[in-house]
Structure 1
Amino acid sequence: MHDIRLIRDDPAAFDAALARRGVESQSAALLALDGRRRQTIAEAQAAQARRNELSKAIGQAKARKDEASAADLMAEVAVLKERLPALEANEQSLEATLDTALAAIPNLPLPDVPKGADENDNELVHERGRPPVFDFTIREHDAIGPPLGLDFETGVAIAGTRFTLVRGHAARLNRALGQFGLDVLTRDHGYEEVVPPLLVRDAAMFGTGQLPKFEEDLFKTTDGRYLIPTSEVSLTNIVREKILAAADLPLRFTALTPCFRSEAGAAGRDTRGFIRQHQFEKAEMVSIVTPDQSEAEHERMTAVAEDVLTRLELPFRRMKLCTGDMGFSAARTYDLEVWLPGQDRYREISSCSTCTDFQARRMNARYRPEGEKGTRFVHTLNGSGLVVGRMLVAVLENYQQADGSVAVPTVLQPYLGGLNRLEPRG
């Protein structure tokens, strides 16, 4: 959500920032709405002030027993009394129209975000690890997985496309990855574990920017709630409508939850295998910070996601997304892309974004700086600590063996009772 006062102060800068995201100028239309709203407010205030003056004048006229003047004044009051509700209704309507217009505009990119149209314009920050070398024919995860328990056919039979039944060794690996990710985030990086609601109200979805723009990508229940597409929604809304003490920040939350996405905007993409599912698990990271902590927190969060990949000994690279590839609420996003030997390319495995005060304004989440009476909006950040399904795909492909088995990464072996190899079913 944008502050109309900042747009008023420098409309050219606002439009220039939007232009970097490929969005046409918005300031003229917004300021015209704002001007009408402010004019209506001024008219209402003037009418109310005049009504107050007339009330006093009526009393004075009656005290002088000047009934004719009193009657004239009362007639004017009657006109104002009839006009004020219309002015107030017009003000509310213009306020709602302005808020709706502001809510539909994406966050402004930070100055260091590269300008570009799509993923081809993203900027490589660094690479870590070396892709494994195989002396046998490399297979993709959808060939490696079924003998280990990735049952695509049964998942589709039960629930339809983009659902998978996970059983046996694959289920154990799935559980191990989720628990490992949660342990790393809480035990080693100080995130507070949360068990959040999986169903949320529309206000929570609005707060993090999923609504109203991305409703088609959400699953909605019959009572008007939404299944979370990521626990970012629940975790970020912990501070909704709150005023926090500066001394209590930063707050860092994590949750390992199922996530639900209709993938309406991804029709035809990754229809095979386990990469793009309607239901998946993810260990999410959310940080609530003061503006001066925001930059360092974004680097810290991304480094935490990198630590997970490093411990799993998976090759990856960090990309800084260009303006055309960033999410709606993001001001800057780093994507971590893991090497998938079966596809012979890097694929997104984690995304870490700073949203500055964009979500906080939508949620009215503030903090009170020490020694100040006023409040300021917090900054919010979110990132994928470990997306279980995609990480399972990465492990299967990078640790595949010639005989169809899969070696277990060293850090996961304690979660599998010391098992160091997953053998396919006969």
Structure 2
Amino acid sequence: MHDIRLVRADPAAFDAAMSRRGVAPVAAEILAQDAARRGAQQALQEKQARRNALAKEIGQAKRSGGNSVALEAEGAALRDAMAALEAEASRAEAAQTALLEALPNILDAAVPDGQDETGNVVLHQHGEPPRPNFAPKQHFEIGEALGQMDFATAAKLAGARFTLLSGPLARLERALGQWMLTLHTEEHGYTETAVPLLVNAATVYGTGQLPKFEDDLFKTTDGRYLIATAEMPLTNLVREEIVPEPTLPRRYTGLTPCFRSEAGSAGRDTRGMLRQHQFQKVELVSVTRPEDSEAEHERMTRCAERVLTELGLIWRRVVLCSGDTGFSAAKTYDLEVWLPGQGAWREISSCSNCRDFQARRMNARMRAPDGKGTVFLHTLNGSGVAVGRALIAVLETHQQPDGSVQVPPVLRPWMGGIERIG
């Protein structure tokens, strides 16, 4: 959500910021509704003042035995006029809100311009893609050959875009999630949080998925939503709160299933585990003072990078361009991992600084440093990381010529000492 004062102060600059997102000029329409709302509210205040004065005049007329009929008729007309003004103020406010809530966050000045992922910029790369002396397989080929990754049975049970894991691969997925969660809590200072997997509309609205992206979500018959990411409940922990400044930053992590309808992804990544309706993810969420969010963004991204390095993966950090940055984010780093079976880089984590965009939707604040009033918090979120994609990367990176897979050393304690899956 955007501050209407920002639009009033410089409509041209606001439209220029939205144009980077591919949004047509909208400031004039927002300000027209704002003017209608303010005009109706001012007129309403004037009518209220006249009504108060009129009540005194009517009382005096009755006490003195005078005729109050004309005054009472004026009062009735005032009530009708006030009702119309209240309706106009409510209509204009709703129209203004609808315009503002549909607009994406303003991008950081450092975000490069670009239409799509081809405009993203690589900032750093860890390691070089290997050149194995055998033809590397894709993860689904490895898993199916091991007899531990079953898409046909999953489809029988639930339909397309589900996976059934068994045996050591199921244990490997569990090990990945548990190890990541322990790393982030014990070494990176995040607080482990077990959250509801079903949330209400206010929670989904707070992080920006509603109303624009409802089609991407699974909705229950009683009006709740399955979480698409633990970002949704974790960020909303501070909704409608005034957070004491000494308790900041707040850092939360959680390992949850995530559910996505994958609307609009027909034909993309139909084989394997890359794009699923249900998957596990370790989420990282930070709530900070405004002046600290940029540094927190760098810190959070390094925490996710640590996961990839410890797993022995080849990865790179990418800053997303204007056309590829998500709705709620001001700036996003994607971490991409090299998949030898695909011979391609694929996203495994996104770390975003949303600044005060989500906090405005949630009304999440802290006391101003001078003690006068409140200021909106800054929120950040990142994958720390997607467990299914980490499993894919481990399988493809650590596959052996005989079809077996070496278990990364950091996971072996979580695997009962198993060093190889074969």
TM-score by length of 2: 0.98
1:101 equivalenced with 2:85 (yes/no): no
Q: CA deviation at 1:89?
A: 1.9
Distance 1:210 1:114 in 2: 24
Counterpart in the other structure of 2:368: 369
Counterpart in the other structure of 2:75: 77
- Runs of 4+ in structure 1 off by over 4 angstroms are none
Counterpart in the other structure of 2:46: 46
Counterpart in the other structure of 1:411: 410
Distance 1:306 1:95 in 2: 44
Counterpart in the other structure of 2:161: 162
Counterpart in the other structure of 1:89: 87
Q: CA deviation at 1:86?
A: 2.0
Q: How does 1:265-304 map to 2 (within 5 A)?
A: 265-304=264-303
Q: Identity of aligned pairs, percent? A: 59
Counterpart in the other structure of 1:355: 354
**Secondary structure of the structure 1 residue equivalent to 2:32:** helix
Counterpart in the other structure of 1:345: 344
Q: CA deviation at 1:120?
A: 0.1
Cα deviation code 1:174-233 (max 9, x no counterpart):
001001110111011000000000000111111101111111111011111100000000
**Secondary structure of the structure 2 residue equivalent to 1:339:** strand
Counterpart in the other structure of 2:228: 229
Q: CA deviation at 1:145?
A: 1.0
1:400 equivalenced with 2:396 (yes/no): no
Q: Would you say the 8 A contact 1:246–1:290 is kept in 2? A: yes
**Secondary structure of the structure 2 residue equivalent to 1:346:** strand
**Secondary structure of the structure 1 residue equivalent to 2:281:** strand
What is the count of residue pairs matched by the alignment? 421
Distance 1:385 1:417 in 2: 23
AA aligned to 1:136 is: F
AA aligned to 2:83 is: P
Q: CA deviation at 1:63?
A: 4.2
Counterpart in the other structure of 1:3: 3
Q: How does 1:130-209 map to 2 (within 5 A)?
A: 130-148=128-146, 149-209=148-208
Cα deviation code 1:325-379 (max 9, x no counterpart):
0111010000000000111111000000010111011111111134413111100
Q: Which moved more, 1:368-377 or 1:41-50?
A: 368-377
Counterpart in the other structure of 1:58: 58
- In angstroms, what is the RMSD of aligned CA positions? 1.0
**Secondary structure of the structure 2 residue equivalent to 1:269:** coil
Distance 2:136 2:379 in 1: 41
Counterpart in the other structure of 1:26: 26
Q: CA deviation at 1:122?
A: 0.4
Cα deviation code 1:63-106 (max 9, x no counterpart):
443x23x3322221111022212211221122112111111001
Q: Would you say the 8 A contact 1:109–1:323 is kept in 2? A: yes
Q: Would you say the 8 A contact 1:21–1:115 is kept in 2? A: no
Distance 2:212 2:72 in 1: 50
Q: CA deviation at 1:3?
A: 1.1
Cα deviation code 1:232-277 (max 9, x no counterpart):
0010011111111111110000000000000012121100001100
Distance 2:256 2:77 in 1: 59
Distance 1:178 1:260 in 2: 17
Cα deviation code 1:24-53 (max 9, x no counterpart):
111011001111111110111111011111
AA aligned to 1:181 is: M
**Secondary structure of the structure 1 residue equivalent to 2:366:** strand
**Secondary structure of the structure 1 residue equivalent to 2:284:** strand
Counterpart in the other structure of 1:240: 239
Cα deviation code 1:298-330 (max 9, x no counterpart):
000001000111111111000000010011101
Q: CA deviation at 1:291?
A: 0.3
Distance 1:379 1:12 in 2: 25
Q: Would you say the 8 A contact 1:245–1:369 is kept in 2? A: no
Distance 2:370 2:214 in 1: 42
Distance 2:73 2:403 in 1: 92
Counterpart in the other structure of 2:250: 251
TM-score by length of 1: 0.97
Structure 1 unaligned residues grouped into runs of 5+: none
